[in-house]
Amino acid sequence: MIEDGTGLFTIGELARATGLTVRTIRYWSDEGVLHPVTRSSGGYRLYDAESVARLELIRTLRELGLCLDDVRKVLSGEKDVASVAAMHVAALDAQIRSLKVTRAVLSTVARRGSTAEEMTLMLCHLGDTPQTPRAGATVCRRAAADPRGVRGRDVPRTGHRGSRDP
C-alpha cells in the first residue's frame, strides 16, 4: 500500500498482494476487466482494496476456463455466472466426448500396432465433423476420394489386415 495514507496500491504492490504478475494485471487492465481507481501524478495506475477482490474473482473465472470476454460480461452484469458456467459445462462435455474417442482410437492403434495411415483412417471413419476437426482431416478427404486408400494402400474399414482379432 502506498505510504501516503490513501490506501491505494501500485500495480507492483497489487501483484505482490494477489500473487499475480504485473504483466497479467496490466493486461487485464488494458483489456478492460480491471480498472485503476486513479493514476498517480507520474501516470502510474493505482488500485484500491476492492480491486484486490475483483482481481481474485477475475483469476477464479479465468482458472475455470472463461475467456476474458465472458469475464467482462459477468463483471458488467451482462451475463450471470450460472449461465456462463452452463455454457462451459456443455463445451467441456463435448471435449470429453472427443477425448474419449481419441483415447479409444489410440488404444486400438497401440493394441494392434497400426500404422499412421490406418490410424488416420480410423479417425476419419469416427466422424470428422466441422465442430471437431481432426489432424488428419485433409488426409481423410483424400482417402475418401481414393478407393485404394491412403498412398494406394487398401485399408479395410473395420478390422486390421493381419489382425489376430476376429
The answer to whether 121 and 155 have CB atoms below 8 angstroms apart is yes
Together in a domain, 148 and 88: yes
**Residue 95 Cα distances to 11, 55, 89, 123, angstroms:** 37, 28, 10, 15
Beta-carbon-side half-sphere exposure of residue 25 (alpha carbons within 13 Å): 26
Together in a domain, 48 and 91: no
Together in a domain, 58 and 92: no
Handedness of CA 103, 109, 115, 117 (dihedral sign): negative
Together in a domain, 23 and 51: yes
Question: 0.85 exceeded by the pTM?
Answer: no
Residue length, the chain?
166
Together in a domain, 99 and 142: yes
| pLDDT given for residue 121 in this prediction | 77
Establish if 166 belongs to a structural domain: no
What cell was used for 105?
482410437
Establish if 91 belongs to a structural domain: yes
Together in a domain, 17 and 60: yes
| pLDDT given for residue 4 in this prediction | 57
| pLDDT given for residue 160 in this prediction | 42
| pLDDT given for residue 28 in this prediction | 93
| pLDDT given for residue 93 in this prediction | 93
| pLDDT given for residue 14 in this prediction | 92
| pLDDT given for residue 66 in this prediction | 87
As for how many domains the chain has, the answer is 2
For the domain that residue 49 is a member of, what is the CATH number?
A: 1.10.1660.10
Together in a domain, 49 and 100: no
| pLDDT given for residue 30 in this prediction | 93
Together in a domain, 31 and 86: no
The answer to whether 118 and 155 have CB atoms below 8 angstroms apart is yes
- Which domain does 15 fall in, by range? 9-64
Which residue pairs, CB below 8 angstroms and at least 24 apart, start in 74-78? 75/33
| pLDDT given for residue 33 in this prediction | 93
| pLDDT given for residue 151 in this prediction | 39
d(CA 165, CA 54): 58
Which residue pairs, CB below 8 angstroms and at least 24 apart, start in 81-86? none
Tens digits of pLDDT across the chain (166 residues):
555 557 899 999 999 989 999 999 999 999 999 999 999 889 999 999 999 999 999 999 998 888 899 899 999 999 998 988 898 899 889 999 989 988 888 888 888 887 888 777 777 766 544 344 444 444 344 444 444 443 333 333 444 444 444 4
| pLDDT given for residue 5 in this prediction | 56
Establish if 159 belongs to a structural domain: no
Establish if 161 belongs to a structural domain: no
